[in-house]
Structure 1
Amino acid sequence: MIIDTSAMVSILRGENDAGVLLDVVSGARQRNVSAASILELTIVLSDPTDSLIDDFLDDAKIVVLDVDTDHLRWARHAHRIYGRGSGSPAKLNFGDCLVYGAAKATASPLLYKGNDFSHTDVRPAVRVR
């Protein structure tokens, strides 16, 4: 499973659906995240020491994946088909495209929160709004 930034933000901020998302993470055989998502998470949470994020990754046994050429190829596809300005209701941003790329390149379901990815062909790990 690939974990999107939106799911990690919800978990780390203790939002209403954090328990459901954490259960999905805990129950997954493989727990992966794009390196791009970790930077995005750092920016969103303004974690000055990185300790909150690093501890979460370690505790949940989440593997950080490099952005390789396959991820990039799928991310570029996502931008063309689902990105902002494409006309798609998904309106994926830069980070979303990279996460989409990781999910497609690894043939993994994606754990996310919100509606953006529901307008794409990525396989959801669970439906959380």
Structure 2
Amino acid sequence: MFVDASAWRAILLAEAESEVFMAKLADAPVVLTSAIAGWETVRAVARATSRSQYEAADRLDELQRSAGVRLVPLGQAEQALALEAHARFGKGVHPAKLNMGDCFSYACAKAHDVPLLYKGGDFALTDIEAA
């Protein structure tokens, strides 16, 4: 399973879905994420909590370490898939309105042939398998 920033944010901010997402992390045979998803998460959590980005990064690192997360590198395949995701589902071209981070989460899930854990309705408008 690839975890998008929206899911990490929901967990760290104890949003309504956090318990369900934590259970999915525990049940997944493999949990992947990317540096882009981490960056987005840290920025969002720091803004929402008025904490420093260093504190938010520490909280995310602790969560990811406890969940056995593997950070996937971004390469040519992910770049091509992210560009394709934007062409098909991006802002200005599709109701899903995927932004850059969304496109890379989509791409990583596709490249690694795993479902995507996310919060919100944007990915539901694409062809990605939901976790």
Q: For this structure pair, what is the TM-score category when the shorter chain's length is used for normalisation?
A: over 0.9
Mapped contact 1:36–1:67 kept (Cα < 8 A):
no
Determine helix, strand or coil for the equivalent of 1:121. Answer: coil
Runs of 4+ with >4 A deviation: none
**Alignment gaps of 5+ in structure 2:** 47-52
Say yes or no: does 1:43 pair with 2:50: no
In structure 1, distance between residues paired with 2:129 and 2:76: 21
Query: C-alpha displacement at 1:82, in angstroms?
Result: 0.3
In structure 2, distance between residues paired with 1:30 and 1:74: 21
* 1:7 corresponding residue in structure 2: 7
More helix by share: 2
TM-score by length of 1: 0.93
* 2:90 corresponding residue in structure 1: 83
Percent sequence identity over aligned pairs: 34
> RMSD of the alignment, in Å?
0.9
Query: C-alpha displacement at 1:48, in angstroms?
Result: 2.1
TM-score by length of 2: 0.91
Equivalent of 2:62 in 43, 55, 76: 55
Mapped contact 1:31–1:61 kept (Cα < 8 A):
yes
Matched residue pairs, number?
A: 124
For 1:77, give the aligned amino acid: E
